[in-house]
A and B are shown apart, each in its own frame.
Chain A
Amino acid sequence: MSKTILVYAETRDGKLRQVALETLGAARLIAGDGDSIRILVAGSNITEAVSALKPYGGEIIYTVEHDDLEHYNPDAYMAAIEAVLGVAKPDAVLFGHTAIGRDLAPLVAASMDAGQISDVTAIENNSGEAVFTRPLYAGKAFEKRVFVNGPWVVTVRPNNIPAAEAVEGVDTSIEDVAFPAPSLRSVIKDVVRKTTGKIDLSEAKIVVSGGRGVKSAEGFKPLEELAELLGGAVGASRGACDAGYCDYALQIGQTGKVVTPEIYIACGISGAIQHLAGMSQSRVIIAINKDPEAPIFKVADYGIVGDLFDIVPLLTQEFRKVLVS
């Protein structure tokens, strides 16, 4: 029986997020012949995101546009999604495992009486059966999971599933779905943007991370400069967060975020087991630490024993030379 797969294409400030294309990529991995992939875009200003999506195909793009969708609000976004569920009647709904996806997917699963597999890092298609790989204990172990009953809800971790590629000669129709304007049980009073213009940690291809060795909030400066040059994000160990050098939002580890960038640069981080769980799936790990015995060196592809305050600015210089030429 053919399935309908609905992809929630996440936007941020009216722009399509990279994770949206990865979620669409996940749908293509799941879909068999005759299955229909459809896309949902919701927001207050989505014209740009919808045109950005069009070359990637999908049978129908459902759009829900309304001022109430300017900021994320679970009641408003659930109402938008339920309106689309009503017309699309999907067998599976896919989200990115982002702040919004993590919040919406379980609500959608409860509403559809569906199972959910969260934070998926890989998908195999075993002769028609979709098998989902996901981390346990933040990546100290991995499980494969399958659905035994439909419908399905899935969230995919950013940076892990190959993004969908554009399809030539696609004929995607766009259907506007009316927003039912529900009464809202929560109201946004204020949004303090701390990350404007910055790349989200979980989506960053390069992460420059600081630990206790950074010594102060000020000590993060050279790390920020390196991250900015590389188009990456700054992270931290629990030690640095507990010491008050940075916000907990930056914490990487078993508590905190799990990241899987192309390059992870650990500066002044000793490498406690909880931290290693959160970053050891990165492609290339670089460790800079004064202590040659620090456990972080056991997982690092390249280690430099030395003072991060000497090394990091020099690294920034070297990268700058390479990136300019």
Chain B
Amino acid sequence: MKIVVLLKQTFDTEEKIEIENGSIAEDGVKFVINPYDEYAVEEAVKLRDEHGGSVTLLSVGPDRTSEALRTALAMGADDAVLISDERIPDDEYAVSKVLHAYLAKETPDLILGGNFSVDRGSGQVAIRLAGLLGIAHAGSITKLTISGNKAEVHRDAEGDLEVLEVQLPAIFTAQQGLNEPRYPSLPGIMKAKKKPFQTLSLDDLGLSEDDIRPATKQSDLSLPPERSAGRILKGEPAEVAHELVTLLRTESKVI
């Protein structure tokens, strides 16, 4: 079984966000595999161990993305492809076209990705690819079993659980609860250094800037107004409970 994992490198969720000269500052920031993509990597490696085949990591991003890809190779993926080109705009419409150009030639049986990325959080790219490739998909899955050319998945739909049978090839996006991602082992890290790692440009994919013109662009970037600490209510539990409900009526007027 040929499995491709869509992977994005993101800020560690511990990071605070600062804006410098109109963009988000990256100095000293710790980067990680997008947490949802980490579930996808783990699931792909488990499925490959069970059914045979290969796991290819696929990413669009700057050169620093190679660190995240090496980590995922150390978790057990077989090879990595990084599409890195400054001409690729920061727009999901364009990014999915770039990924599509690569995937259309590869015909994987299974594509796994994260439910969304914790940075831009738009959750578009994987599902757009299902549309562009003309294959089935299920988003936000918490269980995946493959038998023959079918997959049985559990999907989280706003707290309800759907059990689906999906024809392969298909794209699934990982939700929390799918698995517990492994930590890369030391031998895994050593092996990862020797695994095939390909870096591609737009030209390698036969794309020009015109093919991937963005459909949307950022016009402003800001930090939310900081919340200041309010007041601590003091007294016996029964008193503070009464005071709080009174304040919600008279001061905040929310009830």
Q: Are A273 and B157 in contact (CB under 8 A)?
A: no
Q: Which residue of A lies closest to B176 (CB)?
A: A248
Q: Are B16 and A140 in contact (CB under 8 A)?
A: yes
Query: B26-80: which have CB < 8 Å to A?
Result: 35-36
From A185, A297, A299, A305, B167 is in contact (CB under 8 Å) with A185
State whether the Cβ of A74 lies closer than 8 Å to any Cβ in chain B.
yes
Question: What total of A-B pairs shows CB separation below 8 Å?
Answer: 266
Q: Are B160 and A193 in contact (CB under 8 A)?
A: yes
Q: Is the interface of B mostly helix, strand, loop or mixed?
A: mixed
Q: Is the interface of A mostly helix, strand, loop or mixed?
A: mixed
State whether the Cβ of A11 lies closer than 8 Å to any Cβ in chain B.
no
State whether the Cβ of A145 lies closer than 8 Å to any Cβ in chain B.
yes
State whether the Cβ of B88 lies closer than 8 Å to any Cβ in chain A.
no
Q: Are B93 and A114 in contact (CB under 8 A)?
A: yes
Q: Are A251 and B232 in contact (CB under 8 A)?
A: no
Distance in Å: Cβ of B139 to nearest Cβ of chain A: 5
Q: How far is the CA of A283 from the CA of B230 in the complex (A)?
A: 13
With A135-B121, A322-B245 as given contacts, are A111 and B216 in contact (CB-CB < 8 Å)?
no
Q: Are B167 and A117 in contact (CB under 8 A)?
A: no
Distance in Å: Cβ of B92 to nearest Cβ of chain A: 6
Could you give, for residues 227-255 of chain B, a 1 whenever the CB lies within 8 Å of some chain A CB and a 0 otherwise?
A: 10111111001101110110111001011
State whether the Cβ of A311 lies closer than 8 Å to any Cβ in chain B.
yes
Q: Which residue of B lies closest to A151 (CB)?
A: B215
Q: How far is the CA of A160 from the CA of B122 in the complex (A)?
A: 16
> Which one of A45-53, A57-65, A171-179, A194-202 contacts B?
A194-202
Across-interface contacts of A147 in B (CB, < 8 A):
215-216
With A251-B176, A274-B13 as given contacts, are A186 and B167 in contact (CB-CB < 8 Å)?
yes
State whether the Cβ of A33 lies closer than 8 Å to any Cβ in chain B.
no
Distance in Å: Cβ of B79 to nearest Cβ of chain A: 27
Q: Are A143 and B128 in contact (CB under 8 A)?
A: no
Q: How far is the CA of A251 from the CA of B135 in the complex (A)?
A: 30
From B138, B139, B215, B244, A286 is in contact (CB under 8 Å) with B244
Query: A283-316: which have CB < 8 Å to B?
Result: 283-286, 292, 297-307, 310-311, 314-315
Q: Are B241 and A194 in contact (CB under 8 A)?
A: no
Q: How far is the CA of A263 from the CA of B166 in the complex (A)?
A: 40
Across-interface contacts of B223 in A (CB, < 8 A):
140-142
Q: Are A194 and B231 in contact (CB under 8 A)?
A: no
Across-interface contacts of B249 in A (CB, < 8 A):
322
The 3 closest A-B pairs by CB, nearest first: A115-B215, A110-B131, A185-B136
| Interface set of A (CB-CB < 8 Å, partner B) | 71-72, 74-75, 98-100, 102-103, 105-107, 109-111, 114-119, 131, 134-149, 185-195, 198, 200-202, 241, 247-251, 253-256, 262-263, 273-274, 277, 280-281, 283-286, 292, 297-307, 310-311, 314-315, 317-319, 321-323
